[in-house]
Structure 1
């Protein structure tokens, strides 16, 4: 059999490792990684994360590195910069002027301007080369005929032609500077911003191309990391095996909630859960992940913050919908049908929950109950209805406060309906299949659709990249005696 060429794509083995080679004999304990190896792994993870972020985050932009103003790094940097620019000012103020450093800076400015050009800017490239002819500039400096002001004005004019519209004002502001050292310093500052703008423009231009290529790239880079780090899929294996146990346990019972069908739960006659059902259950379990209790699967580490944000939004929407459902049950359709009533309740509830962790919902719901009662009383008065009795007020307030309990019946029902709806989005075309919005969730429809699309995009990408690894782990866990290529009892992803 011919040897695979370097870079050939090969699916992982059943255990998540690379195929195309026999299982090695038990290896000796791994050696400690050197500093260089650790640095290489860190660099690989950084590159992988940036590519992943570019594809999944439409708002991704590179930002200039910054440090705390009071940090040692920043103080050292500022000291060195001040010394450099003070020295330049002394050279230019000398009689006769010393242009040594100024010429070096003009060379760097020329290179920066050329780096901002697009391939079609042939004429402008020639103009820059001619105007900033470094050999001619050196000769002029030697003969005391160097026109620093004229050169910097040409540079500013070129920057004005190349900069993004958002930089126009900054470039125009440089024209009022008369001190040559200060002007050169500011030119460098704005050029750095322009280079960052160009990088972000390039990223946006390449995003479509990257989306086509990133699946193979991420899988290849991840495999390289696995080759360097032993036992790198332990948490992923634990996550999937837990999901497999849950699906197996539920296969002989009625579905625990409406989402079970869309998650691919198997029937009682099925002895082995399907790959799809197990993976989907694992993905849905991410919405109930307990921060600080367990570490995220390795295959999801790049999306941990994104998924935790989705989880936080789901928790918030659950509380909002539960508050509105309890209030509508107590107030009736007439009051809830009053123009703007539900929108006002939703707005105040959302504001009071904003930025809070689920551990602080009890405190927030105390405040929410007061605000809801105030809004109910105001609306009843406006409509000419009698105010709620003390008992009814106490009942409404108590029901709203009880939503803080995770076992609260209303909260549980709302959470089931939200999870059932979001389960549709973990399939590539699932978000287009829903017809009827779940009952009781109409007030949060817009927010829930947005969360669903975000959740679905992350899961769809993760499934494409790591599907072969999940398949290998699950086949070994669920069918340890099966042939390596056997798909018995399992769906494809």
Structure 2
């Protein structure tokens, strides 16, 4: 991943996250050519060719982005479900083609026209699998699969398909990845030439996929080095074609700026009450740090309302990843809250015993919450309370203690069920701690700190992993689109400042 920009850890510890460095964003962007953000204009009508070209550019940018941010990214064969229309059509067309080939080869004399085309395609595929340094093998393939010679042999009825396929299988065995060795070996015992050719093509398709994925892995360090410039360049090209395409991003940042303003006012009000001071905040406080606003905007992505369509244009490529993180964070909050309530009600000694009760309850809770929408959380918590009751009683008996009393069991069930309420005090506390921890990951220098995991011990391992993914994703986005955010925020924040203090110098 691209190197993260340097910040100071002390700034990252600000509980309100006002900024990792008050002038950081402006300083970072000062060395960049400012992006050419087209002014708002009426929708532009693109021709079909322009739409296709734009879609192609988006596809290129998306693939490059996916390779850089997703270390597990690889191309895979598309498999349709057996009963789908696509699967039936594919099977029908393939059967018709191979039946036609069988019919041609069964003629007297055989008709090799289709077979020759297949051999030519096989040769082309084998050559595409070669590395630049494999010049000797390239020459051997060119000689063994000399298409002019093959055509002449076919014309004289002397084409030896078994001999050619034997050579092809030997070459495939040399070129394939170890994972394909067994499949290539299986082809050596296939006697039917038509079936053999069909299977050769199937395995060659897999080998091409292996080669593409190998190339991706090889090029990933180079792509990571240049990804920021590449993505920004492609995005600018899209903006030039589609003026006014940052409307959702602007609105996203505007809402974040409003949240920061509200947070500042609440903070000032609270401080004034404590200190007994009625002195109003400084007018310059109206102009917030762009980085503080952007960090708030990033945190808002973990609370995105399901079905809300106006997602920031600069984050569309990561929308699915961020939604997945949001789901994980919500589940971790419930798991931590369930374990905290259970431990408090049933006694921490039960959870800390060598019998592993805490770990089992965590796994049970995680399993029952897996893939569950918030609308069914109340039902899940009912099942969870029942499972926890049984597990705790089993552990108490093993430790030689009496089972939970009826009052405690009822209290446990009620407290766990109340976690379905978003205003539940325990749930709010856990969510706030998780948000504080994840906010720390917006500052690259703070990503190794574990001092914010107080009360989150049971989910520490999962939370650290989520934090690393979230921080990595956000810091890459910040590097790519930082100049755009800076331009938008300067306008938004200056306007906000003018409304409060007149002219900003």
**TM-score relative to the length of structure 2:** 0.86
- Which stretch of structure 1 is more off in the superposition, 409-418 or 185-194? 185-194
- Among 355, 359, 363, the alignment partner of 1:347 is 363
- Among 443, 451, 470, the alignment partner of 2:458 is 443
What is the 5 A alignment of 1:209-228?
209-228=222-241
Q: How far apart, CA to CA, are the structure 1 residues paired with 2:486 and 2:423?
A: 35
Q: How far apart, CA to CA, are the structure 2 residues paired with 1:464 and 1:453?
A: 16
Q: 1:256 to 1:431 in 2, by over 3 A?
A: farther
Whether contact under 8 Å (1:312, 1:357) holds in the other structure is no
1:31 is displaced (CA, Å) by: 4.2
Partner of 1:43 in structure 2? 56
Partner of 1:20 in structure 2? none
Whether contact under 8 Å (1:250, 1:256) holds in the other structure is no
Partner of 1:424 in structure 2? 440
1:176-215 CA-partner distances (Å, limit 9, x unpaired): 1111122111111111111111001100111111011111
Partner of 2:478 in structure 1? 463
Q: Per the alignment, in what secondary structure is the counterpart of residue 307 of structure 2?
A: coil
Partner of 1:273 in structure 2? 288
Whether contact under 8 Å (1:273, 1:489) holds in the other structure is no
1:286-317 CA-partner distances (Å, limit 9, x unpaired): 11111113531111111011001101000000
Q: Per the alignment, in what secondary structure is the counterpart of residue 251 of structure 1?
A: helix
What is the 5 A alignment of 1:223-242?
223-242=236-255
Q: 1:418 to 1:220 in 2, by over 3 A?
A: same
1:124 is displaced (CA, Å) by: 1.1
- Among 346, 367, 383, the alignment partner of 2:399 is 383
What is the 5 A alignment of 1:273-352?
273-339=288-354, 340-352=356-368
What is the 5 A alignment of 1:482-493?
none
Q: 1:351 to 1:298 in 2, by over 3 A?
A: same
Q: How far apart, CA to CA, are the structure 2 residues paired with 1:178 and 1:388?
A: 71
Q: How far apart, CA to CA, are the structure 1 residues paired with 2:301 and 2:203?
A: 44
What is the 5 A alignment of 1:48-447?
48-254=61-267, 268-269=281-282, 270-339=285-354, 340-432=356-448, 434-447=449-462
Whether contact under 8 Å (2:433, 2:452) holds in the other structure is no
Provide the alpha-carbon RMSD of the alignment.
Answer: 2.3
In the alignment of these two chains, the number of paired residues is 458
Q: 1:449 to 1:489 in 2, by over 3 A?
A: farther
Whether contact under 8 Å (1:381, 1:387) holds in the other structure is yes
Whether contact under 8 Å (1:315, 1:358) holds in the other structure is no
Q: 1:371 to 1:30 in 2, by over 3 A?
A: closer
- Among 23, 34, 37, the alignment partner of 1:11 is 34
Q: 1:68 to 1:392 in 2, by over 3 A?
A: closer
Partner of 1:472 in structure 2? 487
Q: Per the alignment, in what secondary structure is the counterpart of residue 89 of structure 1?
A: helix
Whether contact under 8 Å (1:51, 1:214) holds in the other structure is yes
Q: How far apart, CA to CA, are the structure 1 residues paired with 2:188 and 2:428?
A: 64
Whether contact under 8 Å (2:252, 2:297) holds in the other structure is yes
Q: How far apart, CA to CA, are the structure 1 residues paired with 2:291 and 2:375?
A: 33
Q: Per the alignment, in what secondary structure is the counterpart of residue 387 of structure 2?
A: helix
1:223-255 CA-partner distances (Å, limit 9, x unpaired): 111122232111110100000111122223328
Q: Per the alignment, in what secondary structure is the counterpart of residue 384 of structure 1?
A: coil
Whether contact under 8 Å (2:385, 2:413) holds in the other structure is yes
- Which blocks of at least 5 consecutive residues in structure 2 are unaligned? 1-31, 271-279, 498-502
Q: 1:103 to 1:478 in 2, by over 3 A?
A: same
Q: How far apart, CA to CA, are the structure 2 residues paired with 1:44 and 1:152?
A: 40
Q: How far apart, CA to CA, are the structure 1 residues paired with 2:268 and 2:436?
A: 12
Partner of 2:13 in structure 1? none
1:74 is displaced (CA, Å) by: 4.1
Q: Per the alignment, in what secondary structure is the counterpart of residue 318 of structure 2?
A: helix
Q: Per the alignment, in what secondary structure is the counterpart of residue 412 of structure 1?
A: helix
